[in-house]
Amino acid sequence: MHVFGVRSDGRRRALRARALRRDAGDESMRSGLQRDVGPVAELLDVDPARVYSFDELAPRPALASADMGDLSKEFLESGRVLPAGRRQTMFTVACDLAARGWTVDDATTAIMERMQTVGLPADELADCPRQIANAWRTPRTPLGAAPAAQRPQSDPPDAYRPFPADALPEPLASFVTEAEAAIGCDASYVALPLLACVAAAIGTTRRLELKPGFAVPAILWTVIVGESGTSKTPALKAVLEHVRERQSRLFEAHRAVEQDYDAQLLEHEKAVALWRRSTSAGPAPIAPTPTPAERAYVSDTTVEALAAILADNQRGILVTRDELAGWLGSLDRYAQGKGADEAFWLSSFNAEPVTVDRRTGNRKSIYVPTAAVCVTGGIQPAVLQRALGQERRESGLLARLLLTSPPPRPKQWRETSISPLTRDQLHRVLDRLYDLQPDADDTGAPRPALLSLDPDAKRLWIEFYDAHNTETAEHI
């Protein structure tokens, strides 16, 4: 049995989750009404006179196609969702109904009935009425209201604009232009990975304070998109030369530290053996503590291993792969029944604290106060499209990616190369960024130093922020 109550404000309460459009004043729906409804009314918190129960509910009448476009009808009747996603489909249907004279309340009732069935999380579902109401803010054109020849055509996409390498400081600008000429790739194939490397070098030592209480870390996830043979790998190789050389030096230095630790451990074992044979009750010898390796980048790691690396390298880390398909695929990996790794990565984009529990290893629980991970790499268009499904769009992962997909260029032999002077200047700049140190709080713990925009930069930022979010709101 399905029992519904209608409150004085018109909102319905139901004992069973089956939302149906019912007119509380329709006498034809009163058949099957049970009068012993006092306990039910109390449970539903409604007037007993406005409780309706039906042993057999009549099927919902077919929606009148004249009241909506074909897409709206298919969505409301069968749940058809556009490739753009569930919420975008919802908003498109709301705009159609708004243009056809539906009231906000009637449209919200009809749309939310369908949205209950499309699998949105509860928090996103609760926000849907607000998004639906946005469709009534401006005049709308009904879907399919005019023949194709009479419909206003949408603006064509903007023509591709080359990456503004001259906006970069030196020697970054020269490195990008020289690498572009030497490799024959688009400038963005060099610039985006380079920006990720710069961000990783700064790490958690600095944050940009846009206003009091709102500071953002230097973290970028850059993706160069292109078919095989479009010089993605040569561009990445040129940019990553410094970070790879740095990691080689770090490992070489750590080998000496490990040898010293091994010698100390051997002496400790001898001291423990002597202590056990001794009749004195003195304290046991203290074991030496191993020094973790400093890392500049990782290429392929699980979340459990990456958490351990971040705990030992709280400055942050760069994740780089020639093909990012493996990284995107790993977001769906279920580790030891703990759940998907995507939440970890989303937190690491904002340098948020994370805790990772492990079943193996010396450290069962790893806490990282500021998990900062920069990402760069390449991917092919079709692979990217498959990897970024609807869940990736709705989780916010896609919004975190800075992508470039320039028009393909025919490969031609180039005699030019990056000058040693430009290369050395860039590497010195990156070395100085890695030398940056954070501030310290009252307890001596490291905290990022705060930077601010100058007035001109702040004005440009506000203009961009407002324009971008206004455009985004029109498509929510």
Distance CA 33, CA 27 (A): 11
Question: What's the pLDDT score for residue 34?
Answer: 42
The alpha carbon of 357 is separated from its chain's Cα centroid by a whole number of angstroms, namely 22
- pLDDT score recorded for residue 156: 64
pLDDT at 72: 84
pLDDT averaged over consecutive 10-residue blocks of the chain (476 residues)? 42 38 38 47 56 41 57 84 77 85 88 85 81 78 53 61 92 96 95 97 96 94 92 95 95 90 88 82 83 88 85 92 83 51 86 80 80 94 84 81 91 91 97 95 90 94 88 68
* CB count in 10 Å sphere of residue 235: 29
Question: 194 near 235, Cβ under 8 Å?
Answer: no
- The amino acid that residue 289 corresponds to is T
Identify the burial level of 359 via C-beta atoms within 10 angstroms of its C-beta, where 0-12 means exposed, 13-18 middle and 19 or more buried: exposed
Question: Model's pTM, two decimal places?
Answer: 0.66
Q: Which of 146, 198, 265 is nearest to 426 (CA)?
A: 198
The token pair that represents 44 in the structure block: 């539903």
Which residues have C-beta within 8 Å of that of residue 303, sequence separation ≥ 6?
A: 335, 341, 344, 345, 356
Q: What is the pLDDT of residue 18?
A: 32
Q: By CB neighbour count within 10 A (0-12 exposed, 13-18 middle, 19+ buried), where does 373 fall?
A: buried
